[in-house]
Structure 1
Protein backbone atom coordinates (compact mmCIF):
# COMPACT_ATOMS: atom_id res chain seq x y z
CA UNK A 1 0.00 0.00 0.00
CA UNK A 2 2.79 2.49 0.85
CA UNK A 3 4.32 3.98 -2.30
CA UNK A 4 7.14 6.06 -0.81
CA UNK A 5 7.97 8.85 1.60
CA UNK A 6 6.04 12.02 0.83
CA UNK A 7 7.41 14.46 3.38
CA UNK A 8 10.21 15.05 5.84
CA UNK A 9 10.29 17.79 8.46
CA UNK A 10 13.33 18.97 10.35
CA UNK A 11 13.88 21.29 13.29
CA UNK A 12 16.23 24.21 12.50
CA UNK A 13 17.81 26.83 14.74
CA UNK A 14 17.14 29.78 12.39
CA UNK A 15 14.41 29.43 9.75
CA UNK A 16 15.70 32.37 7.69
CA UNK A 17 19.26 30.99 7.54
CA UNK A 18 18.02 27.50 6.68
CA UNK A 19 15.57 28.85 4.09
CA UNK A 20 18.42 30.71 2.38
CA UNK A 21 20.33 27.42 2.21
CA UNK A 22 17.53 25.17 0.93
CA UNK A 23 16.17 27.72 -1.53
CA UNK A 24 19.53 27.66 -3.35
CA UNK A 25 19.38 23.93 -4.04
CA UNK A 26 18.20 23.02 -7.55
CA UNK A 27 14.81 21.30 -7.50
CA UNK A 28 13.62 22.89 -4.23
CA UNK A 29 10.64 25.23 -4.65
CA UNK A 30 8.99 27.23 -1.87
CA UNK A 31 5.42 26.00 -1.38
CA UNK A 32 4.27 27.84 1.75
CA UNK A 33 5.61 30.05 4.53
CA UNK A 34 3.96 30.11 7.95
CA UNK A 35 5.54 33.08 9.72
CA UNK A 36 3.53 32.53 12.92
CA UNK A 37 5.03 29.04 13.33
CA UNK A 38 8.42 30.03 11.83
CA UNK A 39 7.99 27.30 9.22
CA UNK A 40 8.55 26.89 5.50
CA UNK A 41 7.44 24.08 3.24
CA UNK A 42 9.06 23.15 -0.06
CA UNK A 43 8.26 20.95 -3.02
CA UNK A 44 11.15 18.62 -3.69
CA UNK A 45 11.27 17.96 -7.42
CA UNK A 46 7.91 18.12 -9.15
CA UNK A 47 5.01 19.71 -7.20
CA UNK A 48 2.89 17.17 -5.37
CA UNK A 49 5.52 14.40 -5.33
CA UNK A 50 7.44 15.07 -2.13
CA UNK A 51 7.81 17.83 0.43
CA UNK A 52 10.38 19.13 2.91
CA UNK A 53 9.36 21.20 5.92
CA UNK A 54 11.67 23.27 8.10
CA UNK A 55 10.53 24.71 11.42
CA UNK A 56 12.49 26.84 13.85
CA UNK A 57 12.87 25.55 17.41
CA UNK A 58 10.13 22.96 17.15
CA UNK A 59 9.39 21.24 19.39
CA UNK A 60 12.47 22.52 21.21
CA UNK A 61 15.44 24.81 20.56
CA UNK A 62 17.67 21.72 20.71
CA UNK A 63 18.52 20.65 17.16
CA UNK A 64 19.49 17.01 16.74
CA UNK A 65 21.36 16.00 13.61
CA UNK A 66 19.01 14.32 11.12
CA UNK A 67 19.67 12.56 7.82
CA UNK A 68 17.63 12.41 4.64
CA UNK A 69 18.34 11.75 0.98
CA UNK A 70 17.05 13.45 -2.15
CA UNK A 71 16.69 11.09 -5.12
CA UNK A 72 18.48 12.41 -8.19
CA UNK A 73 19.14 11.07 -11.67
CA UNK A 74 22.56 9.57 -12.28
CA UNK A 75 23.51 12.25 -14.82
CA UNK A 76 22.56 14.95 -12.31
CA UNK A 77 24.67 13.32 -9.60
CA UNK A 78 27.68 13.58 -11.90
CA UNK A 79 27.37 17.39 -11.96
CA UNK A 80 25.99 17.90 -8.43
CA UNK A 81 29.40 18.10 -6.77
CA UNK A 82 30.43 20.99 -9.03
CA UNK A 83 27.08 22.77 -8.56
CA UNK A 84 27.24 22.44 -4.77
CA UNK A 85 30.85 23.63 -4.80
CA UNK A 86 29.78 26.67 -6.84
CA UNK A 87 27.24 27.38 -4.07
CA UNK A 88 30.02 27.13 -1.45
CA UNK A 89 28.71 23.81 -0.08
CA UNK A 90 31.42 21.19 0.57
CA UNK A 91 30.57 17.58 -0.31
CA UNK A 92 31.91 14.24 0.82
CA UNK A 93 31.43 10.54 0.17
CA UNK A 94 29.98 7.91 2.53
CA UNK A 95 33.31 7.63 4.40
CA UNK A 96 33.53 11.38 5.01
CA UNK A 97 36.24 11.78 2.38
CA UNK A 98 36.40 14.11 -0.62
CA UNK A 99 33.42 13.46 -2.90
CA UNK A 100 35.76 13.11 -5.88
CA UNK A 101 35.76 9.39 -4.99
CA UNK A 102 32.09 8.42 -4.72
CA UNK A 103 30.96 5.20 -3.08
CA UNK A 104 28.44 2.61 -4.25
CA UNK A 105 26.04 0.76 -1.96
CA UNK A 106 25.95 -2.62 -3.76
CA UNK A 107 22.88 -3.90 -1.87
CA UNK A 108 20.68 -1.32 -3.69
CA UNK A 109 22.76 -0.50 -5.88
CA UNK A 110 23.11 3.28 -5.61
CA UNK A 111 25.79 5.97 -5.59
CA UNK A 112 25.61 9.20 -3.60
CA UNK A 113 27.22 12.35 -2.24
CA UNK A 114 26.70 13.96 1.15
CA UNK A 115 26.66 17.52 2.46
CA UNK A 116 25.42 19.35 5.56
CA UNK A 117 22.87 22.11 6.00
CA UNK A 118 23.51 25.10 8.36
CA UNK A 119 22.40 23.06 11.41
CA UNK A 120 24.56 20.06 10.52
CA UNK A 121 21.72 17.91 9.16
CA UNK A 122 23.18 15.31 6.81
CA UNK A 123 21.78 15.56 3.28
CA UNK A 124 22.41 12.98 0.60
CA UNK A 125 21.91 13.12 -3.15
CA UNK A 126 21.32 9.49 -4.15
CA UNK A 127 21.07 8.00 -7.64
CA UNK A 128 20.01 4.43 -8.24
CA UNK A 129 22.15 2.40 -10.63
CA UNK A 130 20.68 0.16 -13.33
CA UNK A 131 22.82 -2.83 -12.29
CA UNK A 132 21.54 -5.82 -10.33
CA UNK A 133 21.81 -5.52 -6.53
CA UNK A 134 24.81 -7.25 -4.98
CA UNK A 135 24.12 -7.52 -1.22
CA UNK A 136 27.08 -9.90 -0.94
CA UNK A 137 29.55 -7.09 -1.70
CA UNK A 138 30.82 -4.37 0.67
CA UNK A 139 30.49 -0.66 -0.01
CA UNK A 140 33.03 0.20 -2.69
CA UNK A 141 34.15 3.07 -4.85
CA UNK A 142 32.15 3.83 -7.98
CA UNK A 143 35.33 3.16 -9.95
CA UNK A 144 35.60 -0.34 -8.42
CA UNK A 145 31.90 -0.97 -9.11
CA UNK A 146 32.26 0.03 -12.75
CA UNK A 147 35.39 -2.08 -13.11
CA UNK A 148 33.47 -5.05 -11.67
CA UNK A 149 30.83 -4.50 -14.39
CA UNK A 150 33.31 -4.08 -17.24
CA UNK A 151 32.95 -0.30 -17.46
CA UNK A 152 36.01 1.88 -17.38
CA UNK A 153 34.81 5.29 -16.13
CA UNK A 154 32.16 6.90 -13.92
Structure 2
Protein backbone atom coordinates (compact mmCIF):
# COMPACT_ATOMS: atom_id res chain seq x y z
CA UNK A 1 0.00 0.00 0.00
CA UNK A 2 2.65 2.57 1.03
CA UNK A 3 5.00 3.54 -1.79
CA UNK A 4 7.00 6.29 -0.12
CA UNK A 5 6.90 9.51 1.85
CA UNK A 6 5.27 12.32 -0.12
CA UNK A 7 5.50 15.32 2.20
CA UNK A 8 6.76 16.60 5.49
CA UNK A 9 6.26 19.85 7.40
CA UNK A 10 8.59 21.94 9.53
CA UNK A 11 8.15 24.95 11.78
CA UNK A 12 9.92 28.18 10.85
CA UNK A 13 10.17 31.46 12.77
CA UNK A 14 9.86 33.75 9.75
CA UNK A 15 7.90 32.53 6.74
CA UNK A 16 9.33 35.11 4.31
CA UNK A 17 12.94 34.30 5.25
CA UNK A 18 12.26 30.58 5.00
CA UNK A 19 10.59 30.90 1.59
CA UNK A 20 13.69 32.72 0.39
CA UNK A 21 16.01 30.11 1.90
CA UNK A 22 14.22 27.08 0.51
CA UNK A 23 13.53 28.57 -2.95
CA UNK A 24 16.53 30.80 -3.67
CA UNK A 25 19.23 28.98 -1.71
CA UNK A 26 18.12 25.35 -2.12
CA UNK A 27 16.13 25.66 -5.36
CA UNK A 28 12.73 24.31 -4.29
CA UNK A 29 9.70 25.66 -6.14
CA UNK A 30 6.78 27.48 -4.56
CA UNK A 31 3.66 25.32 -4.94
CA UNK A 32 1.01 27.14 -2.90
CA UNK A 33 0.71 29.85 -0.28
CA UNK A 34 -2.27 29.60 2.02
CA UNK A 35 -3.76 33.07 2.45
CA UNK A 36 -5.68 32.05 5.60
CA UNK A 37 -2.85 30.44 7.54
CA UNK A 38 0.90 31.15 7.84
CA UNK A 39 1.95 28.22 5.65
CA UNK A 40 3.47 27.62 2.25
CA UNK A 41 3.98 24.42 0.29
CA UNK A 42 7.08 23.85 -1.82
CA UNK A 43 7.70 21.27 -4.53
CA UNK A 44 10.78 19.09 -4.22
CA UNK A 45 11.93 17.46 -7.45
CA UNK A 46 10.08 17.45 -10.75
CA UNK A 47 6.45 16.70 -11.57
CA UNK A 48 5.13 17.26 -8.06
CA UNK A 49 7.13 14.28 -6.75
CA UNK A 50 7.49 15.49 -3.15
CA UNK A 51 6.34 18.40 -1.03
CA UNK A 52 7.59 20.39 1.94
CA UNK A 53 5.29 22.50 4.12
CA UNK A 54 6.67 25.48 6.02
CA UNK A 55 4.57 26.59 8.99
CA UNK A 56 5.37 29.88 10.66
CA UNK A 57 5.55 29.41 14.43
CA UNK A 58 6.46 32.47 16.49
CA UNK A 59 6.83 30.69 19.85
CA UNK A 60 7.99 27.27 21.02
CA UNK A 61 9.71 26.46 17.74
CA UNK A 62 10.58 22.76 17.58
CA UNK A 63 13.38 22.08 15.07
CA UNK A 64 13.09 18.84 13.09
CA UNK A 65 15.22 16.67 10.84
CA UNK A 66 14.57 15.50 7.30
CA UNK A 67 16.67 14.39 4.35
CA UNK A 68 16.66 15.24 0.67
CA UNK A 69 17.46 12.40 -1.75
CA UNK A 70 20.51 13.16 -3.86
CA UNK A 71 22.82 11.34 -6.26
CA UNK A 72 25.89 9.73 -4.72
CA UNK A 73 28.21 11.56 -7.12
CA UNK A 74 26.62 14.92 -6.30
CA UNK A 75 27.08 14.31 -2.58
CA UNK A 76 30.69 13.21 -3.04
CA UNK A 77 31.79 15.82 -5.55
CA UNK A 78 29.51 18.81 -5.15
CA UNK A 79 27.51 18.94 -1.92
CA UNK A 80 30.10 20.59 0.33
CA UNK A 81 30.93 23.22 -2.30
CA UNK A 82 27.21 23.75 -2.98
CA UNK A 83 26.50 24.38 0.70
CA UNK A 84 29.52 26.56 1.37
CA UNK A 85 28.81 28.69 -1.71
CA UNK A 86 25.43 29.43 -0.13
CA UNK A 87 27.01 30.31 3.23
CA UNK A 88 25.82 27.10 4.86
CA UNK A 89 28.00 24.99 7.13
CA UNK A 90 28.13 21.33 6.10
CA UNK A 91 28.82 18.76 8.79
CA UNK A 92 28.80 15.00 9.12
CA UNK A 93 26.66 12.88 11.41
CA UNK A 94 29.42 12.67 14.02
CA UNK A 95 29.69 16.48 14.22
CA UNK A 96 33.45 16.04 14.58
CA UNK A 97 34.42 19.15 12.62
CA UNK A 98 34.97 17.28 9.36
CA UNK A 99 32.80 18.62 6.56
CA UNK A 100 32.92 15.50 4.41
CA UNK A 101 30.04 13.11 3.72
CA UNK A 102 29.99 9.91 5.74
CA UNK A 103 28.48 6.46 5.31
CA UNK A 104 25.86 4.93 7.56
CA UNK A 105 27.05 1.37 7.05
CA UNK A 106 23.89 -0.33 8.29
CA UNK A 107 21.90 0.97 5.29
CA UNK A 108 24.38 1.65 3.54
CA UNK A 109 23.92 5.35 2.69
CA UNK A 110 26.12 8.37 2.08
CA UNK A 111 25.09 11.62 3.81
CA UNK A 112 26.06 15.20 4.61
CA UNK A 113 24.16 17.56 6.95
CA UNK A 114 23.43 21.28 7.19
CA UNK A 115 20.91 23.49 9.01
CA UNK A 116 18.24 25.88 7.82
CA UNK A 117 17.99 29.35 9.43
CA UNK A 118 15.75 27.97 12.22
CA UNK A 119 18.01 25.07 13.16
CA UNK A 120 16.07 22.37 11.33
CA UNK A 121 18.64 19.70 10.58
CA UNK A 122 18.67 18.97 6.86
CA UNK A 123 20.52 16.23 5.05
CA UNK A 124 21.49 15.17 1.54
CA UNK A 125 21.43 11.35 1.40
CA UNK A 126 22.02 8.65 -1.19
CA UNK A 127 21.49 4.94 -0.69
CA UNK A 128 24.58 3.00 -1.74
CA UNK A 129 24.60 -0.29 -3.58
CA UNK A 130 25.24 -3.49 -1.72
CA UNK A 131 24.34 -4.90 1.64
CA UNK A 132 24.59 -3.03 4.88
CA UNK A 133 27.40 -3.76 7.33
CA UNK A 134 26.08 -2.51 10.69
CA UNK A 135 29.21 -3.58 12.51
CA UNK A 136 31.18 -0.82 10.74
CA UNK A 137 29.10 2.02 12.25
CA UNK A 138 29.48 5.46 10.68
CA UNK A 139 32.63 5.97 8.64
CA UNK A 140 34.15 7.94 5.79
CA UNK A 141 33.33 6.99 2.22
CA UNK A 142 37.01 6.12 1.68
CA UNK A 143 36.93 3.72 4.63
CA UNK A 144 33.65 2.25 3.38
CA UNK A 145 35.25 1.44 0.02
CA UNK A 146 37.95 -0.63 1.79
CA UNK A 147 35.37 -3.06 3.21
Instruction: Report the TM-score when normalising by structure 1.
Output: 0.87
In structure 1, list runs of 5 or more residues that go unmatched: 149-154
1:20 match: 20
The Cα shift of 1:102 comes to 2.3
Farther off after superposition, 40-49 or 22-31: 22-31
Which of 96-105 and 75-84 deviates more? 96-105
Match of 1:76 in 2: 74
Alignment of 1:100-139 (within 5 A): 100-139=99-138
Question: Is 1:62 paired with 2:89?
Answer: no
Asked whether the 8 Å contact 1:27–1:45 carries over to 2, the reply is: no
User: Could you report, residue by residue, the CA deviation over 1:4-44 in whole angstroms, capped at 9, with x for unpaired residues?
Assistant: 11000111110011111111244511111124312111111
- CA distance 1:54–1:109, change in 2 (3 Å): same
Retained in 2: the 8 A contact 1:85–1:91? yes
Aligned Cα RMSD in Å?
A: 1.6
Q: Assess if the C-alpha contact under 8 Å between 2:10 and 2:63 holds in 1.
A: no
- The structure-2 alpha-carbon separation of the partners of 1:133 and 1:25, relative to structure 1 and needing over 3 Å to count, comes to farther
- The gaps in structure 2 that reach 5 residues or longer are none
Q: Comparing 137-146 with 93-102, which one deviates more in the overlay?
A: 93-102
Distance 1:25 1:102 in 2: 20
What's the TM-score once normalised by structure 2's chain length? 0.91
Name the count of aligned residue pairs. Answer: 146
Aligned to 1:151: none
Q: Deviations over 1:28-74 (max 9, x none)?
A: 111111243121111111232110000112xx621112000011111
Contact 1:69–1:126 (CA under 8 A) maintained in structure 2: yes
Secondary structure of 1:120's aligned partner: coil
